[in-house]
Structure 1
Amino acid sequence: MPDGLGGGGQSHRLPRGAHPGRNIPSAGVSGFGFVEKARFGFFNHAKGAYDPDDFHRLEITNLDRTLAWKKGRPSVHSHASGGGVLFGVVGGHILALTVARGSLEITVTLHSERFDRRTELSVGGYVLHLP
Protein backbone atom coordinates (compact mmCIF):
# COMPACT_ATOMS: atom_id res chain seq x y z
CA MET A 1 0.00 0.00 0.00
CA PRO A 2 2.44 2.72 -1.15
CA ASP A 3 1.60 6.33 -0.46
CA GLY A 4 3.34 9.66 -0.57
CA LEU A 5 2.99 12.94 1.25
CA GLY A 6 3.52 15.91 -1.01
CA GLY A 7 4.73 19.38 -0.19
CA GLY A 8 2.82 22.24 1.32
CA GLY A 9 3.73 21.75 4.96
CA GLN A 10 1.86 18.48 5.46
CA SER A 11 2.55 17.04 8.88
CA HIS A 12 3.20 13.41 9.65
CA ARG A 13 2.65 13.36 13.40
CA LEU A 14 2.74 10.25 15.52
CA PRO A 15 0.66 10.80 18.64
CA ARG A 16 0.87 8.08 21.24
CA GLY A 17 -1.33 5.17 20.20
CA ALA A 18 -1.69 6.37 16.58
CA HIS A 19 -2.79 3.47 14.39
CA PRO A 20 -4.43 3.30 10.95
CA GLY A 21 -7.30 1.11 12.11
CA ARG A 22 -8.35 -1.44 14.67
CA ASN A 23 -8.92 -4.10 11.99
CA ILE A 24 -5.20 -4.34 11.17
CA PRO A 25 -3.49 -7.12 13.16
CA SER A 26 -0.06 -5.51 12.61
CA ALA A 27 1.97 -3.77 9.94
CA GLY A 28 5.41 -2.57 8.99
CA VAL A 29 6.00 0.87 7.50
CA SER A 30 9.05 2.05 5.59
CA GLY A 31 9.81 5.27 3.83
CA PHE A 32 12.23 7.87 2.53
CA GLY A 33 12.14 11.38 1.13
CA PHE A 34 12.47 15.05 2.02
CA VAL A 35 11.18 16.66 5.20
CA GLU A 36 11.32 20.31 6.13
CA LYS A 37 11.36 19.50 9.85
CA ALA A 38 11.98 16.35 11.86
CA ARG A 39 11.55 16.09 15.60
CA PHE A 40 13.51 13.11 16.88
CA GLY A 41 13.66 11.86 20.43
CA PHE A 42 16.27 9.92 22.37
CA PHE A 43 14.79 7.90 25.23
CA ASN A 44 16.06 9.05 28.61
CA HIS A 45 15.65 6.06 30.95
CA ALA A 46 16.19 8.20 34.06
CA LYS A 47 13.23 10.45 33.13
CA GLY A 48 11.16 7.75 31.44
CA ALA A 49 10.56 10.12 28.51
CA TYR A 50 12.08 11.19 25.20
CA ASP A 51 14.53 14.10 25.04
CA PRO A 52 13.42 15.86 21.81
CA ASP A 53 15.43 17.83 19.26
CA ASP A 54 14.39 19.48 15.99
CA PHE A 55 16.27 19.17 12.68
CA HIS A 56 15.48 21.03 9.46
CA ARG A 57 15.70 20.23 5.74
CA LEU A 58 16.59 16.54 5.86
CA GLU A 59 16.65 13.80 3.28
CA ILE A 60 15.16 10.91 5.22
CA THR A 61 17.23 7.92 4.12
CA ASN A 62 15.47 5.38 6.27
CA LEU A 63 12.15 5.35 8.09
CA ASP A 64 11.00 2.20 9.89
CA ARG A 65 7.87 1.76 11.93
CA THR A 66 5.93 -1.10 13.46
CA LEU A 67 2.21 -0.98 14.10
CA ALA A 68 1.39 -3.43 16.87
CA TRP A 69 -0.69 -3.74 20.04
CA LYS A 70 0.09 -3.05 23.69
CA LYS A 71 -2.35 -3.91 26.48
CA GLY A 72 -5.16 -4.25 23.92
CA ARG A 73 -4.55 -0.80 22.40
CA PRO A 74 -2.77 0.23 19.18
CA SER A 75 0.96 0.88 19.56
CA VAL A 76 3.34 2.60 17.12
CA HIS A 77 7.13 2.52 17.30
CA SER A 78 8.97 4.64 14.71
CA HIS A 79 12.59 5.49 13.97
CA ALA A 80 14.26 7.36 11.13
CA SER A 81 17.60 8.73 10.02
CA GLY A 82 18.30 11.54 7.62
CA GLY A 83 21.08 13.69 6.27
CA GLY A 84 21.35 17.43 5.92
CA VAL A 85 22.95 19.73 3.37
CA LEU A 86 26.40 19.17 4.93
CA PHE A 87 25.85 15.38 4.78
CA GLY A 88 25.75 14.94 8.54
CA VAL A 89 23.28 12.25 9.61
CA VAL A 90 20.92 12.42 12.57
CA GLY A 91 18.18 10.12 13.71
CA GLY A 92 16.15 8.67 16.50
CA HIS A 93 12.60 7.96 17.58
CA ILE A 94 10.20 9.94 15.37
CA LEU A 95 8.09 12.40 17.33
CA ALA A 96 6.96 14.43 14.27
CA LEU A 97 7.83 15.00 10.60
CA THR A 98 6.71 17.89 8.38
CA VAL A 99 6.91 17.61 4.59
CA ALA A 100 7.32 20.89 2.69
CA ARG A 101 8.90 20.81 -0.77
CA GLY A 102 9.42 17.41 -2.30
CA SER A 103 7.76 14.29 -1.00
CA LEU A 104 7.95 11.58 1.61
CA GLU A 105 7.25 8.14 0.15
CA ILE A 106 5.71 5.60 2.51
CA THR A 107 5.04 1.89 2.01
CA VAL A 108 2.81 -0.06 4.40
CA THR A 109 3.13 -3.85 4.60
CA LEU A 110 0.17 -5.50 6.32
CA HIS A 111 0.78 -8.65 8.36
CA SER A 112 -1.89 -11.31 8.87
CA GLU A 113 -0.88 -12.05 12.47
CA ARG A 114 -1.10 -9.78 15.47
CA PHE A 115 2.12 -8.38 16.96
CA ASP A 116 2.08 -7.45 20.66
CA ARG A 117 4.37 -5.36 22.84
CA ARG A 118 4.95 -6.70 26.35
CA THR A 119 6.93 -5.50 29.31
CA GLU A 120 10.36 -7.07 29.60
CA LEU A 121 11.83 -6.34 33.01
CA SER A 122 15.32 -7.34 31.82
CA VAL A 123 15.42 -4.37 29.40
CA GLY A 124 13.20 -2.04 31.41
CA GLY A 125 10.60 -1.47 28.75
CA TYR A 126 8.24 -2.83 26.14
CA VAL A 127 9.50 -5.37 23.59
CA LEU A 128 7.81 -6.48 20.38
CA HIS A 129 6.71 -10.12 20.53
CA LEU A 130 6.22 -11.87 17.20
CA PRO A 131 3.84 -14.82 16.77
Structure 2
Amino acid sequence: MGVLLSQQAAAQSSNPAARYSKTPMGYLIVLRQGDQVVEELEKFAAAEKIPSASIQGQGFVKVEFGYWNAKTKKFDPKTFEGELSGLTGSIAWKDGKPSIHAHGVVAGADFVAYAGHILKAQVGTGSLEIFVNVNDKKLERFVDPAIEANVLSVDGSKK
Protein backbone atom coordinates (compact mmCIF):
# COMPACT_ATOMS: atom_id res chain seq x y z
CA MET A 1 0.00 0.00 0.00
CA GLY A 2 1.09 3.51 -0.68
CA VAL A 3 2.05 5.89 2.08
CA LEU A 4 -0.88 7.98 3.24
CA LEU A 5 -0.51 11.70 2.78
CA SER A 6 -0.98 13.82 5.86
CA GLN A 7 -3.88 15.75 4.33
CA GLN A 8 -7.12 14.64 5.98
CA ALA A 9 -10.63 15.98 5.60
CA ALA A 10 -13.83 15.30 7.48
CA ALA A 11 -16.36 13.45 5.34
CA GLN A 12 -19.76 15.03 4.83
CA SER A 13 -21.50 12.75 7.29
CA SER A 14 -24.12 12.74 9.99
CA ASN A 15 -21.49 10.90 12.03
CA PRO A 16 -18.48 13.15 12.78
CA ALA A 17 -16.29 10.04 13.24
CA ALA A 18 -16.61 9.19 9.52
CA ARG A 19 -13.54 10.43 7.66
CA TYR A 20 -11.34 10.05 4.65
CA SER A 21 -7.76 10.74 3.71
CA LYS A 22 -6.10 11.43 0.36
CA THR A 23 -3.63 8.76 -0.79
CA PRO A 24 -1.32 8.59 -3.83
CA MET A 25 -3.89 6.42 -5.67
CA GLY A 26 -7.08 8.09 -4.45
CA TYR A 27 -8.53 7.94 -0.94
CA LEU A 28 -8.85 5.82 2.18
CA ILE A 29 -12.28 6.06 3.81
CA VAL A 30 -12.80 4.81 7.35
CA LEU A 31 -16.45 4.47 8.34
CA ARG A 32 -17.55 3.85 11.93
CA GLN A 33 -20.26 1.90 13.69
CA GLY A 34 -23.72 2.98 12.54
CA ASP A 35 -22.61 4.64 9.29
CA GLN A 36 -24.69 3.82 6.21
CA VAL A 37 -22.10 2.61 3.69
CA VAL A 38 -23.76 3.36 0.34
CA GLU A 39 -24.99 6.78 1.48
CA GLU A 40 -21.54 7.73 2.83
CA LEU A 41 -19.90 6.68 -0.45
CA GLU A 42 -22.42 8.76 -2.41
CA LYS A 43 -21.80 11.83 -0.21
CA PHE A 44 -18.04 11.36 -0.51
CA ALA A 45 -18.14 11.02 -4.32
CA ALA A 46 -20.26 14.16 -4.66
CA ALA A 47 -18.15 16.21 -2.22
CA GLU A 48 -14.85 15.23 -3.84
CA LYS A 49 -16.27 15.32 -7.39
CA ILE A 50 -14.98 11.80 -8.11
CA PRO A 51 -15.30 11.23 -11.91
CA SER A 52 -15.29 7.44 -11.43
CA ALA A 53 -13.44 4.97 -9.24
CA SER A 54 -12.99 1.38 -8.23
CA ILE A 55 -13.47 0.51 -4.57
CA GLN A 56 -12.35 -2.28 -2.30
CA GLY A 57 -12.71 -2.75 1.41
CA GLN A 58 -13.17 -4.83 4.53
CA GLY A 59 -14.66 -4.50 7.99
CA PHE A 60 -17.78 -5.32 10.03
CA VAL A 61 -21.29 -4.79 8.66
CA LYS A 62 -24.94 -5.62 8.70
CA VAL A 63 -25.56 -5.99 4.98
CA GLU A 64 -28.53 -6.60 2.75
CA PHE A 65 -27.38 -8.55 -0.29
CA GLY A 66 -29.45 -8.92 -3.40
CA TYR A 67 -29.44 -11.66 -6.00
CA TRP A 68 -30.65 -10.37 -9.39
CA ASN A 69 -33.70 -12.30 -10.54
CA ALA A 70 -33.69 -11.95 -14.33
CA LYS A 71 -37.31 -13.12 -14.58
CA THR A 72 -38.79 -10.59 -12.15
CA LYS A 73 -36.18 -7.88 -12.93
CA LYS A 74 -35.74 -7.35 -9.19
CA PHE A 75 -33.24 -8.26 -6.51
CA ASP A 76 -34.13 -11.08 -4.11
CA PRO A 77 -32.80 -9.64 -0.80
CA LYS A 78 -31.29 -11.37 2.22
CA THR A 79 -29.66 -9.77 5.29
CA PHE A 80 -26.45 -10.92 7.00
CA GLU A 81 -24.30 -9.58 9.81
CA GLY A 82 -20.61 -10.28 10.27
CA GLU A 83 -17.17 -9.68 8.92
CA LEU A 84 -17.06 -8.23 5.41
CA SER A 85 -13.96 -9.96 4.09
CA GLY A 86 -14.30 -8.51 0.62
CA LEU A 87 -15.97 -5.42 -0.80
CA THR A 88 -15.46 -4.57 -4.43
CA GLY A 89 -17.23 -2.20 -6.74
CA SER A 90 -17.30 1.03 -8.68
CA ILE A 91 -18.34 4.64 -8.41
CA ALA A 92 -19.92 6.22 -11.48
CA TRP A 93 -22.72 8.74 -12.14
CA LYS A 94 -26.40 8.37 -13.04
CA ASP A 95 -28.85 11.21 -13.57
CA GLY A 96 -26.35 13.73 -12.18
CA LYS A 97 -25.76 11.84 -8.91
CA PRO A 98 -23.10 9.38 -7.73
CA SER A 99 -24.01 5.75 -8.43
CA ILE A 100 -22.44 2.99 -6.33
CA HIS A 101 -22.29 -0.58 -7.64
CA ALA A 102 -20.81 -2.89 -5.00
CA HIS A 103 -20.62 -6.58 -4.20
CA GLY A 104 -19.37 -8.21 -1.04
CA VAL A 105 -18.57 -11.39 0.84
CA VAL A 106 -19.54 -11.60 4.52
CA ALA A 107 -19.05 -14.38 7.08
CA GLY A 108 -20.29 -14.94 10.61
CA ALA A 109 -18.77 -16.68 13.62
CA ASP A 110 -19.40 -20.05 11.92
CA PHE A 111 -17.07 -18.97 9.07
CA VAL A 112 -19.80 -19.62 6.50
CA ALA A 113 -19.50 -17.01 3.75
CA TYR A 114 -22.29 -15.39 1.75
CA ALA A 115 -21.93 -13.02 -1.18
CA GLY A 116 -24.05 -10.75 -3.29
CA HIS A 117 -24.86 -7.34 -4.68
CA ILE A 118 -24.88 -4.82 -1.81
CA LEU A 119 -28.31 -3.22 -1.62
CA LYS A 120 -27.56 -1.51 1.69
CA ALA A 121 -25.06 -1.88 4.50
CA GLN A 122 -24.50 -0.41 7.92
CA VAL A 123 -21.15 -0.52 9.68
CA GLY A 124 -21.31 -2.89 12.65
CA THR A 125 -19.05 -3.16 15.68
CA GLY A 126 -15.71 -1.69 14.70
CA SER A 127 -15.12 0.02 11.40
CA LEU A 128 -15.11 -0.40 7.64
CA GLU A 129 -12.03 0.55 5.60
CA ILE A 130 -12.59 1.39 1.93
CA PHE A 131 -9.84 2.14 -0.56
CA VAL A 132 -10.92 4.30 -3.49
CA ASN A 133 -8.83 4.15 -6.68
CA VAL A 134 -9.88 7.26 -8.63
CA ASN A 135 -10.07 7.31 -12.43
CA ASP A 136 -9.79 10.57 -14.37
CA LYS A 137 -12.64 9.75 -16.79
CA LYS A 138 -16.24 10.40 -15.73
CA LEU A 139 -18.30 7.24 -16.22
CA GLU A 140 -22.10 7.10 -16.42
CA ARG A 141 -24.67 4.39 -15.74
CA PHE A 142 -27.91 3.98 -17.64
CA VAL A 143 -30.84 1.59 -17.58
CA ASP A 144 -30.49 -0.89 -20.43
CA PRO A 145 -34.08 -1.47 -21.60
CA ALA A 146 -33.25 -4.96 -22.90
CA ILE A 147 -32.42 -6.23 -19.41
CA GLU A 148 -34.07 -3.51 -17.29
CA ALA A 149 -30.95 -3.07 -15.20
CA ASN A 150 -28.28 -0.41 -14.68
CA VAL A 151 -25.28 -0.77 -16.97
CA LEU A 152 -21.97 1.10 -16.95
CA SER A 153 -21.13 2.97 -20.14
CA VAL A 154 -17.39 3.23 -20.76
CA ASP A 155 -17.69 5.45 -23.83
CA GLY A 156 -20.63 7.70 -22.97
CA SER A 157 -23.07 5.88 -25.24
CA LYS A 158 -26.20 4.14 -24.00
CA LYS A 159 -25.67 0.85 -25.80
Shift of 1:71: 5.6
* 1:3 counterpart residue number: 29
- Name segments (4+ residues, structure 1) moved above 6 Å: none
Shift of 1:130: 2.9
Given residue 30 of structure 1, which amino acid in structure 2 is its aligned partner?
Answer: Q
Which of the pair has the greater relative contact order for Cα pairs under 8 Å at 6+ separation? 1
Deviations 1:28-84 (A, max 9, x none): 11110112x11111111122111111112x111111121113465542211111111
- CA contact 1:120–1:126 (8 Å) conserved in 2: no
TM-score with structure 2 setting the length: 0.66
> Identity rate of aligned residues, in percent?
35
Paired residue secondary structure (1:21): helix
The number of residues matched between the two structures is 125
Given residue 32 of structure 2, which amino acid in structure 1 is its aligned partner?
Answer: G
- 1:41 equivalenced with 2:66 (yes/no): yes
Given residue 117 of structure 1, which amino acid in structure 2 is its aligned partner?
Answer: R
**Unaligned 5+ residue runs, structure 2?**
1-26
TM-score with structure 1 setting the length: 0.79
Q: How does 1:67-82 map to 2 (within 5 A)?
A: 67-70=91-94, 73-82=97-106
- CA contact 1:68–1:114 (8 Å) conserved in 2: yes
Q: Distance in 2 between matches of 1:100 and 1:71?
A: 31
- Give the number of the structure whose residues are more often strand, by fraction: 1
- CA contact 2:73–2:149 (8 Å) conserved in 1: no
